[in-house]
Amino acid sequence: MANITRREGKNGISYRIKVSCGYDTTGKQITKTMTWRPSSSMSARQIEKELNRIVVEFEAKISGGDYADTQNIKLTDFCDKYLEMVGDTLAPTTKAFYRNVIENIIKPSLGHLKLNAIKPLHAQQFIHMLSEEGIRTDGKGDKLSPATVKRYFTVLKSIMAMAYKLDLIEKNPTDTTKLTMPEVIEPEIEIFTKEEAAQMLSCLTDEPLSFQVLIHLAIVTGCRRGELVALKWNAVDFSSCSITVKLSNYKLKGDNVRSKAPKTRRSAREVAVPEYLIEMLKRYRSAQEAEKRRLGDKWEGEGWIFTQWNGKPMNPQTPTKQFSKFLERNGIPHRKFHALRHTSATLLLLSGTNIKNVASRLGHTQLSTTNRYVHALRDADQTAAKTFEALILPPVETRKKEVK
């Protein structure tokens, strides 16, 4: 990856670009450098765009001498440059997903093509390939859903958008206005009814205290799963009855549990919780402290609320598995763990809470995201109206006889 240094001198601003070319026989790193001076009339945005293009071209020229200019860059090589350029802007899990799609799908199917040779036809063929039977290898069926096809195609679209931004191609062949995408049906929001939620909370009394706290927090705060397992005790303000959400935990395959910033800029937030939950947290903290003393040196925790047996942070997948088994044991209709977040939002709206307050509580950046729950409430309201009609009015055949 290129190292770029901005310098200011008598002749204006310049950029020193240094690229590693490996190591010599003595183990010393070999580097090549160049200096680029932008025009004084260029805006900051223009400088950034041109600098990125210069870097890609310089790296291509010195990478084994295989390229005379950027016109000969193949997609497979640009994919690697792309991941370097956007690496810091993507969440770790998103970057891992992008890398997987690039290595296992994009490179094998389109990687041999030069960037400027890729046309909308290739993009359409790529979409068709993703939609074919047998593309799945995870044992969850033969075909990808239209939504998954769109997710995979988004990776290719992002790569080509970057190439277009850097003036490496004249037109973006992944412009969806020229392509036919599979129709994506917006999935229904999964929520627990009031009755199911009441049954769930009733059944929780037979569960370990740690699981009770987890589910109550999920329903009351509406936090995402990663946010819940990233909570530490110092995030709980016992005096003001509030919890500060500022991290989200994730785990990549073969790696340890790690923390990152929450999903959106508004995801870092303070959420008020009822007194009963604060008391439950106090009891759980006391129980955890007792377990910590019992384990002694075996406890490796760093103040996490939800932990593994030795105090290390809980795997973000664990709540999903625990919750699924809990629902099955108690005969409650299966829902994803994320349904607790949806349920939290709908219960608040049903109680008359202002939609802006609900959005703030959930950490939504856009109000339109929260509006999805309003539509769900309308559907529920229509169902309720039909239920009352069935209860109050006699059957249709009876009404016909009464008219006669």
Q: What is the pLDDT of residues 199-231, one digit of tens each?
A: 998 999 999 999 999 999 999 898 999 999 999
Last residue of a domain, one of 149, 167, 185: 185
User: What share of the chain has pLDDT > 90, as a percent?
Assistant: 39
Higher pLDDT pick, 257 / 194: 257
* Judgement on whether residues 291 and 374 belong to the same structural domain of the protein: yes
* Judgement on whether residues 235 and 324 belong to the same structural domain of the protein: yes
Residue 364 near residue 269 (C-beta atoms within 8 A) = no
* Judgement on whether residues 122 and 2 belong to the same structural domain of the protein: no
* Judgement on whether residues 318 and 380 belong to the same structural domain of the protein: yes
Residue 252 gets which letter from DSSP? -
* Judgement on whether residues 230 and 295 belong to the same structural domain of the protein: yes
pTM attached to this predicted model: 0.66
Q: Which helix (H) or strand (E) holds 100?
A: helix 92-101
Question: What's the rounded Cα separation, in Å, for the pair 372 and 190?
Answer: 11
pLDDT in the model for residue 322: 96
Q: Which domain holds residue 180?
A: 73-185
Q: What's the CATH number where 86 sits?
A: 1.10.150.130
* Judgement on whether residues 216 and 360 belong to the same structural domain of the protein: yes
Residue 166 near residue 178 (C-beta atoms within 8 A) = no
* Judgement on whether residues 311 and 358 belong to the same structural domain of the protein: yes
Residue 124 has pLDDT above 90, yes or no: yes
Last residue of a domain, one of 185, 207, 232: 185
* Judgement on whether residues 244 and 370 belong to the same structural domain of the protein: yes
Q: Assess if residue 265 is contained within a domain.
A: yes
**Cα dist from 47 to 40, 54, 88, 140, whole Å:** 10, 10, 20, 47
Residue 27 has pLDDT above 70, yes or no: no
* Judgement on whether residues 58 and 86 belong to the same structural domain of the protein: no
* Judgement on whether residues 214 and 109 belong to the same structural domain of the protein: no
* Judgement on whether residues 216 and 119 belong to the same structural domain of the protein: no
Question: What's the rounded Cα separation, in Å, for the pair 227 and 209?
Answer: 19
* Judgement on whether residues 256 and 170 belong to the same structural domain of the protein: no
Q: Which two tokens stand for residue 148?
A: 């998954």
Give me the number of domains the chain comprises: 3
